[in-house]
Amino acid sequence: MDNKIEIFKNEQFGEVRTILEGEKVLFCAADVAKALGYTNPNKAVNDHCRAITKRSTPISGKVQSINFIPEGDVYRLIIRSKLPAAEKFELWVFDEVIPTIRKTGGYMTDSLLERIQKEPAVIVEFAQALILEKNRVKALECELNTAKPKADYYDAFINPDDCTNIRTTAKELKIPERKFVQFLLREKYLFRSPSGQLLPYNKDSNAGLFIVRDFVTYCYTGSQTYFTPKGKEVIRMKFQKKYAEELLPKMAR
């Protein structure tokens, strides 16, 4: 495996070493902890990170084993940091560095600059990829800003303890889970994201039916859809109207 290091430089946070493995970006754990102001970086990494992995990398002419962490662990270090600029570090890493790496295979590092000097056409490819990624991020930001007022309202007035995920909701309504999911997709309550997650459509008719919670595990981040009490009742009535004989015979008892 080619563990070629790319070094990202920031005037405020110094240098952060990274490795790109396929679509996965790994960060030097010590560099991240130092950038976030931890007085004991090694202890911070051991206390807060769940997916530490060692990679052999050349340092000062010698191959050494260094601890690297995935995005999820970077986020854990960020939220536990007391550094006032931790949020700015988060924006730099997640809004600029990672998207650029994923689209171009690297950042504007010394190695890329050297390649551009030898092959000027490379800068066109890099610029096009960067523009596409920035446009995508901008579109997502607009979508999130539109949805945020509604999300804030429902998060404030809906008790998460009263909400259930898709599997539990299907059991409560006595509907086979597979048919339940098919119905939700067909009736445009939910859609399946490129990563396979079932998420609600952002439309007025869905208001108050669902809440979406983000989660972070040791190797995965994502979102999960939950049904509110109102959502369960609306779906139950919809099923009764359309599929009473086929799917809900027990609800008539």
3-state secondary structure 29-47: HHHHHHHCCCCCHHHHHHH
> Residue 253 and residue 251: Cα distance in Å, rounded?
5
**Residues 220 and 73 sit within 8 Å (Cβ to Cβ):** no
Burial of 241 (0-12, 13-18, 19+ CB in 10 A): exposed
User: Crossing angle for the helix pair 41-48 and 71-80, nearest 10 degrees?
Assistant: 110
Using CA of residue 166, residue 169, residue 173, residue 177, what is the dihedral sign? Answer: positive
Which pTM does this prediction carry?
0.43
- CA distances (Å), 241 to each of 202, 206, 209, in order? 24, 18, 18
Token pair listed for 110: 């010394």
Query: Is 148 within the bounds of a domain?
Result: no
Instruction: Give the structural domain span for 51.
Output: 5-138
The total number of structural domains that make up the chain: 2
Token pair listed for 94: 């997640």
Neighbours of 151 (CB within 10 A): 13
Tell me: do 26 and 101 sit in the same domain: yes
- CA distances (Å), 73 to each of 23, 91, 159, 219, in order? 16, 15, 29, 8
Query: Is 151 within the bounds of a domain?
Result: no
> Residue 216 and residue 74: Cα distance in Å, rounded?
11
Tell me: do 98 and 188 sit in the same domain: no
For the chain, list residues with pLDDT below 70.
1-3, 23, 58-60, 99-116, 122-123, 125-161, 216-221, 242-253
Tell me: do 53 and 13 sit in the same domain: yes
pLDDT recorded at residue 68: 93
Amino acid identity, position 112: L
Tell me: do 133 and 207 sit in the same domain: no
Tell me: do 195 and 233 sit in the same domain: yes
Tell me: do 14 and 130 sit in the same domain: yes
Query: Is 35 within the bounds of a domain?
Result: yes
Tell me: do 123 and 169 sit in the same domain: no
Q: Which helix (H) or strand (E) holds 55?
A: strand 53-59
In the block, residue with structure tokens 């869905």: 206
> Residue 100 and residue 25: Cα distance in Å, rounded?
11
Query: Is 91 within the bounds of a domain?
Result: yes
pLDDT recorded at residue 216: 65
Tell me: do 69 and 114 sit in the same domain: yes
